[in-house]
Amino acid sequence: MIDVVCVLWGTKYSIDYVTKLKAMVERNTTIPHRFVCLIDDVSKRKIKDTDTTIFYLDQGYEGWWNKIQLFNPRYPLSDRVVYIDLDTLIVDNIDWLLEYEGDFMGIEDLGAVNAHQPFLKNRFQSGVLAFNHKKYAGIWSEFIFTYERIFSHYRGDGEFLHDHIKRRDLLQNLYPGKLKSYKYQVYPGPPDNETSIICFHGRPSIPQAMTTSISTPMRTYHAQSWIEDYWKE
């Protein structure tokens, strides 16, 4: 069995992100899987779908560092794990992602497609992961032994994993065209026929992208109604 996992902590994302991500996964794969959510405070969040498996996050870790708990061996995850950030839109079949059999795959930094950011080429990020959970349980030990010092060395979990997992695949290299940045490669959309996964990062968020015009230093992103066709239960 493959586990498709998301992580929910803090107040940035509502429970709707979990239920809609699960629905998008189920609409777009034929591969048997279990949908899992690692969650920080179940007493404040009620997941309506009883088919979602819930594990409680260990307390004491801030923000995106909770994502490293994917490697915590105390969670009874399957040997094969696919992780997807909550701010992700799935628009077409992802059987190819669940069928990945390599040891570890993540994504290349989404800014690498910009000509003015060549330093981001081959930089690892963690918005989508697929890996052998049993083989990489040691990442958790490395993390907890250095947690008090990581803030001075790393700006996020992606940088930490970039340094600690040397042999890795980048999704955009193995599956060209399947995963794209909303801001840099899809907007205004809709996506082309080869796109399966759209990553939202920074502003606009998925709800903003559907309803609001958002101005950034790069450009103004106007609301796009086609997103509603995918981001739904």
Q: What is the pLDDT of residues 18-60, one digit of tens each?
A: 999 999 999 999 999 999 999 987 655 667 666 899 999 998 8
User: For every one of its 233 residues, what pLDDT tens digit does the chain have, with 9 covering 90 and above?
Assistant: 999 999 999 888 988 999 999 999 999 999 999 999 999 876 556 676 668 999 999 988 888 889 999 999 999 999 999 999 999 999 999 999 999 999 999 999 887 677 666 666 778 899 999 999 989 988 988 888 777 677 667 777 878 888 888 889 999 999 999 999 999 999 999 999 999 999 999 899 999 999 999 998 888 999 999 999 999 99
Residue 38 lies in a domain: yes
Q: For the chain, how far is it from start to end, CA to CA, in angstroms? A: 23
Residue 208 lies in a domain: no
Q: Which residues of 144-178 are buried (b: 16+ CB within 10 A; e: fewer)?
A: eeeeeebeeebeebbbbbbebbeeebbbbeebeeb
Residue 27 lies in a domain: yes
Spatial CB neighbours of 119, under 8 Å, sequence gap ≥ 6:
none
Residue 215 lies in a domain: no
The predicted pLDDT at position 63 comes to 83
Residue 223 lies in a domain: no
The predicted pLDDT at position 64 comes to 85
Residue 192 lies in a domain: no
Spatial CB neighbours of 32, under 8 Å, sequence gap ≥ 6:
1, 2
Global confidence as pTM: 0.93
Contact 37, 48 (CB under 8 A): no
Q: How many CA atoms lie within 13 A of 216 on its CB side?
A: 14
The predicted pLDDT at position 107 comes to 95
Contact 110, 125 (CB under 8 A): yes
Alpha-carbon distance of 85 to 87, in angstroms, equals 6
Residue with tokens 């794990």: 81
Contact 38, 8 (CB under 8 A): yes
Q: Give the CATH number of the domain where residue 64 resides.
A: 3.90.550.10
The predicted pLDDT at position 132 comes to 94
Alpha-carbon distance of 159 to 62, in angstroms, equals 16
What range does the domain containing 86 cover?
A: 2-176
The predicted pLDDT at position 152 comes to 66
Overall domain count for the chain: 1
Residue 19 lies in a domain: yes
The predicted pLDDT at position 48 comes to 65
Residue 191 lies in a domain: no
Q: How many CA atoms lie within 13 A of 97 on its CB side?
A: 30
